[in-house]
Amino acid sequence: MAIALPEPIRDLLVDCMEGIEGARWQGEEQLHLTLRFAGEVDTPLANDLADRLGTLTCPPFPLAIRGVGHFERKGHPRAVWAGIAPSPELEVLQRKVERACQEVGLEPEHRRFTPHVTLARLNSASGPIAPFLLARSGLASAPFTVDGFTLYESHLGETGSIYEPVVRYPLR
């Protein structure tokens, strides 16, 4: 479950996606803000989840890109991302999505929700990220309106995950 980004926001992000040797940059069509990753689920559970998500209510709200950062695993950078300006409305929507997942039987998400848009995946052969992070520390967008979210199905391809929209849920 994720928020798709409008074209001007995707363009802004694509324009900053360079400067780390060996990074696997996301394609423009792959850029999104994940609300909850469900993992491998069987068809009946996926159908229950799709139905439950359709009952969520939340008014549209503004969101903006603010800054960049990275995730590490065992002290090594694994991804660089664009951050999201603080948004109480986003937090409410994410909690409602998490609750819906648990109500249909998914395990609770144990990681803290860190709103972000993944720009690149990294491995041990990737170059240093500090120059990228410093050069883009002021990355920011004008606010854009979030008027829905999408249930995606992911498929592992040669260049990483490919996200296919299944159902879009308008906010109301």
**Which residue in 119, 118, 160, 151 sits closest to 36, CA to CA?**
151
Question: Residue 65 corresponds to which tokens in the numbers above?
Answer: 């890109």
| Active-site pick, 32, 70, 110, 155 | 32
Active-site residue, 116 included: yes
**DSSP 8-class letter at 138:** T
Please state the φ and ψ torsions of residue 24, each to the nearest 5 degrees.
Answer: -100, 95
Tokens matching residue 161: 């995950």
Q: Which of 70, 76, 110, 116 is catalytic?
A: 116
Give the tokens for residue 64: 């903006």
CA–CA distance, 15 with 99 (Å, rounded to integer) = 36
Q: Could you confirm whether 76 is annotated as catalytic?
A: no
Calpha distance 165→33 (Å, rounded): 13
Return phi, psi of residue 47, to 5°: -65, -40
Active site residues: 32, 116
